[in-house]
Amino acid sequence: MKTPIVMQDLPPDLKPERLPNHVAVIMDGNGRWAKRQGMPRIMGHKRGVDALKDLLRCCKDWGVKALTAYAFSTENWNRPLEEVDFLMTLFQRVLRQELREMMEENVQIHFVGKLDVLPRSLQAEIERSMAETQHNQDIQFTVATNYGGRQEILEATRAIAHLVQQGKIQPEDIDAALFESHLYTKNTCDPDLIIRTSGEMRISNFLLWQMAYAEIYVTDTLWPDFNRSEFHRALSSYQQRDRRFGKV
């Protein structure tokens, strides 16, 4: 289902030169949204996809160059099997359906997380979409799937330990740049703004290394209800912040 485009241009009160380069969203509250409508949780996930599609379009319209969405955490496997199965099937179907539009819209899609344990058919769809869109340049869209910040840091540490063991590098060579080059996010800049919906004041294992100096914005709105006006509010809040990065 196509979401109608409400507004094309950046709202006049937002300053283009003060937009975040990279916005990351913790899309939370799908289950609660569905429950409030008297529907099963999975309906919330379906509606959540529409909200994400509209946010991606909005980022493109307004000039945000990178968007990362947290779709499935390493802890989400602990949910009921039917919900996990539904989500995996949903990811695969949406990817297949949206590929053409992503090509038309010049979206470069990328996935971060431990992808090699996902269902094979989903892995194939992921590889195909990343390969086909790799030269697109209007916006970089990253989907965190089976993503865990701790897992990512552990994997990087293990890979670097191997390099030291093989004598390819010395322990003194390990600096932030080398470490980052072993993270899933090696091709993306750090997020400037992290938005979490549904009011929870926590990080839930998202981008632990990368969010060192990200601005955090939490809204009580549940993810399926997150729309352009909500995003506008988040960006207004971001533009009023004083990012000091430890300076005075």
Binding residues for Mg(2+): 28, 215
> Residue 30 binds what, of Mg ion, ligand IPE, none (CB under 5 to 8 Å, by partner type)?
ligand IPE
Chain positions 208 to 247 lying near ligand IPE, rule: CB under 6 A, are 223
* Packed helices 228-239 and 41-62: angle between N→C axes, nearest 10 degrees: 60
Give the nearest distance from C-beta 202 to ligand IPE in angstroms. 6
> Residue 27 binds what, of ligand IPE, Mg ion, none (CB under 5 to 8 Å, by partner type)?
ligand IPE
Rounded distance, CA 225 to CA 241, Å? 25
For the stretch 31-64, what's the b/e string if a residue is b when 16 or more beta carbons lie within 10 angstroms of its beta carbon? bbbbeeeeeebbbbbbbbbebbbbbbbbbbbbeb
Rounded distance, CA 111 to CA 94, Å? 14
Chain positions 29 to 48 lying near ligand IPE, rule: CB under 6 A, are 29-32
Q: Are 142 and 112 in contact (CB under 8 A)?
A: yes
Instruction: Find all residues with CB under 8 Å of 141, minimum gap 6, and list them.
Output: 56, 66, 67, 68, 69, 102, 107, 108, 109, 110
Stretch that binds Mg ion, among 14-22, 27-35, 79-87, 234-242 (CB under 5 A): 27-35
**Nearest CB to ligand IPE, comparing residues 20 and 113:** 113
Q: Is 25 helix (H, G, I), strand (E, B) or coil?
A: strand
Q: Which residue in 68, 198, 219, 221 binds ligand IPE (CB under 6 A)?
A: 198
Position closest to ligand IPE via CB? 31
Q: What's the maximum distance between 2 C-alpha atoms anywhere in the chain?
A: 60
Does 28 bind ligand IPE (CB under 6 A)? Our answer is yes
> Residue 231 binds what, of ligand IPE, Mg ion, none (CB under 5 to 8 Å, by partner type)?
none
Does 54 bind ligand IPE (CB under 6 A)? Our answer is no
Catalytic residue among 21, 50, 61, 76: 76
Q: Are 238 and 193 in contact (CB under 8 A)?
A: yes
Does 204 bind ligand IPE (CB under 6 A)? Our answer is yes
DSSP state of 111: E
Catalytic residue among 28, 54, 146, 192: 28
Tokens encoding 226: 């997150």
* 87 residue type, one letter: L
Does 28 bind Mg ion (CB under 5 A)? Our answer is yes
> Residue 95 binds what, of ligand IPE, Mg ion, none (CB under 5 to 8 Å, by partner type)?
none
* 157 residue type, one letter: T
Q: Which residue in 68, 73, 140, 210 binds ligand IPE (CB under 6 A)?
A: 73
Rounded distance, CA 31 to CA 28, Å? 8
Known catalytic membership, residue 76:
yes
**Nearest CB to Mg ion, comparing residues 28 and 215:** 28
Known catalytic membership, residue 146:
no
> Contact residues for ligand IPE (CB under 6 A)?
26-32, 70-73, 76, 87, 198, 200, 202, 204, 223
Residues designated as active site: 28, 76
Q: Which residues bind Mg ion (CB under 5 A)?
A: 28
